[in-house]
Amino acid sequence: MTDLRPRRSVLYMPGANERALEKAQTIPADALILDLEDAVAPDAKAEARERVCTAAASGAYGGREIAIRANGIGTRWHDADLAAVARAGPDAVVIPKINRADEVHQIEKALEAGGVPDHTRIWAMLETPVAMLEAHEIATASDRLTVLVMGTNDLAKELQAAHVPGRQPLLPGLGLCLLAARAAGTAILDGVYNDIKDEAGFLAECEQGRDLGFDGKTLIHPSQVEPCNVTFAPTEADVVKAGRIIAAFEEAETAGQGVVTVDGRMVENLHVEQARRTLAIQAAIDERGG
């Protein structure tokens, strides 16, 4: 079963920016990705690595899930990143441009060779056409892999596709990865929205991602956190209805009734499972602090 830890809002924070890492301690994102890849210039990689690993191990971020995005396989910083991450022991390491299951195995072996703690998970970024086609094999490659992260900017580039409202060119790939995540029991995060000033466009894409089935969305700016948290959380009406469905079903079972209706609609086992999941998600959000 997919881990129900809240990941509505997952904010990238630049590893080279010490002030940004400090500010992240007060941002109400469910998770932070401290970035050593795109957000860090080549000559700042080593310093950023030390800063990020120190931050991840500090305990200063409260209940937020802390992941570190390493540089990708084949880059000259990759091995040192994994060794440092293994020592720091964050909640997760994010690996960009994973294309095959054997790359997940490679990451896992490198982390374990570095003495990584059991709690550190692997989040695989899927960003290429190959990754879309190999998504299920990637998602099931290791028990340590718990989250798929969509890299929609790189995917659009690889597809030679336009960035358009509704993301029609990306939907086949997004659908394949969603299928893979649900079949494998992993969480899956939607990609970033690039225009931080386009609030309406961002909200529409959050709603699309929620409706498609994503657990949450990766973000590039703190202003995107709150609308994302609201969009990917159950509404009050959802929670109330879920409670009514479960109560009606349990009452009918106790009375030996074969047919259950709520608001004139028949309730089956699948609706009860969905209702229980809604309540579990809300409980996890409440435990996280809302």
Q: Express each pLDDT in 204-257 by its tens digit.
A: 999 999 999 999 999 999 999 999 999 999 999 999 999 999 998 888 888 887
Measuring CA to CA, how many Å separate 60 from each of 21, 94, 168, 240? Answer: 10, 20, 40, 35
For the four alpha carbons of 224, 175, 233 and 282, in that order, the dihedral sign comes to negative
Mean pLDDT across the stretch 164-192?
98
User: pTM for the full model?
Assistant: 0.94
Contact 30, 7 (CB under 8 A): yes
Q: Extract the tokens encoding 109.
A: 């072996």
Query: Whats the size of the chain, residue-wise?
Result: 290
Q: What is the pLDDT of residue 255?
A: 82
Model confidence pLDDT, tens digit, residues 263-274: 888 888 899 999
pLDDT band for position 287 (cuts 50, 70, 90): confident
pLDDT at 1 over 50: no
Model confidence pLDDT, tens digit, residues 63-86: 899 999 999 999 999 999 999 999
Domain at 9-231: CATH code? 3.20.20.60
For the four alpha carbons of 235, 241, 242 and 244, in that order, the dihedral sign comes to positive
- 147 three-state secondary structure: strand
| Strands in the chain per DSSP E | 9-14, 31-35, 65-69, 92-95, 121-126, 145-150, 187-190, 216-219, 261-262, 265-266
